[in-house]
Every structure is written in structure tokens, then in C-alpha cells.
A = this chain, B = another copy of it.
């Protein structure tokens, strides 16, 4: 026998969608409670206050996110850096563009970037930093440089900047500065991957050419898959 979904869970579900869509500040508790046929006081009753509800949603999403991230890293394990970066971009972009019940973390993060809340710190610690660490790790291997290298960090930022721009916020749409708007996440991911891998291949090529021009020679350190490709 099925029980009616508890108000608490309904609130969580409905609020999650609203927060993901418009951000913490632009959603009123009345909207949330009305949306599930509950009383205004329901939010405070179940979650202490509006932020408490938001916190629970964010934390739930973070947990999901951590699993996903782990899976993504596992999936890439064993492959080359090139494939790992492509995979990362594909997953990221797809998540950003495709609404999924119970997983709004990517959109929530976009909203946090626009209008931060106290939850941002948690998000940074448990989502952004692991992600950037992974991204830098992959790119480091791509470029044959340490993952805390300045160039690596900048390339990671370049890649990340493009991914973020995939999320079409109202302002971005009106500004018409985004990517081609055919709603095809795969095509978008492909462009970003091509663009970024091409950029980094070119960087590695130049570095090599410069070094070779200086009579230099590859000296150990990390092996670069792009260098390998470039020298092939």
C-alpha cells in the first residue's frame, strides 16, 4: 500500500525545482508551500527556516554529485587524458542542460554564482574544488605539467568557463553571447572539447617547438598525451 507523499518530501521536491530555476533569493516560501498545497508555516516547521530547506536540498544534491563525480573519475580511469577531458565536458554540459528530478546541483551552482548564499562555502568545498582538482589533474597530464602549474590552472579555467556558458540564463539569452542555440548538449560538448583540446595541443606543440629551438630536450616529468600526438 502506498502512502501519500509526506509534506516534507513534497516541499523538498518542489522547492528544489524552484531554487534550481530561479535561485534562493527569487523564490518565496509562499510559492514553495502553495505549490504543494501546504501552509506557509510548513517550511519553517520542517526546516527551521527558508535557508534550512535550501541547505537540505543543496546537501542532498552534493551527495549525489559526489557519487557522480566519483563515477565519472572511475569511468575515465585507465583511459588517456584526452578521453577523460572529453568525458568530463560531456557529462558536465549534459547535466547543465538537462533538468533531472532530484539532481539540480549544476543549476543550483549557477544560481550560487549569480547570487551567493551561505551555502556557497559548502558547495565550493565539496563540489567545486574536487571538480577543479580533477580537471587540473587531467589537463596537467594532457600538457605534461604538474597539476598546480599556472598554465594548467588557466587552461582549466578556460575549459570551465566555456562549460558554464552552456547554461542559458535569461540574461545570457537576451545578450545573445552564448553558443549556438540548438539545444543539443552533445554538439555543444563536442565544440568545447574540440576547441579546448585543439588549444592545448597547439600549446604543447609550441612549447616543444620553443624548446627544440633552444636545443632543449624532453626531460622526464609527466608524460603528455598531446605531446605524443603532436610529435607523431
- The CA of A155 and the CA of B113, in the complex, are separated in Å by 23
Q: Whose C-beta in chain B lies nearest to the C-beta of A131? A: B177
Interface residues on A, range: 35 or more
Contact A191 B132 (CB under 8 A): no
Main secondary structure of the interface of A (DSSP, over half): helix
Which residue of B124, B176, B203 is within 8 Å of A124 (Cβ)?
A: B176
Count of identical protomers in the assembly: 4
Tell me if B172 and A113 are in contact (CB < 8 A). Answer: yes
Chain A 86-130, CB-CB to B under 8 Å as 1, else 0, gives 000000000000000000000000001111100011011000110
Question: Interface digits, A177-210 against B, CB 8 Å rule (1 contact, 0 not)?
Answer: 1111000000010011011111111110010000
A18 to B147, CA, bound (A): 38
Q: Does A162 sit at the interface, judged by CB under 8 A?
A: yes
Given the known inter-chain contacts A164-B161, A177-B160, please indicate yes or no for A171 contacting B203, CB distance below 8 A. Answer: no
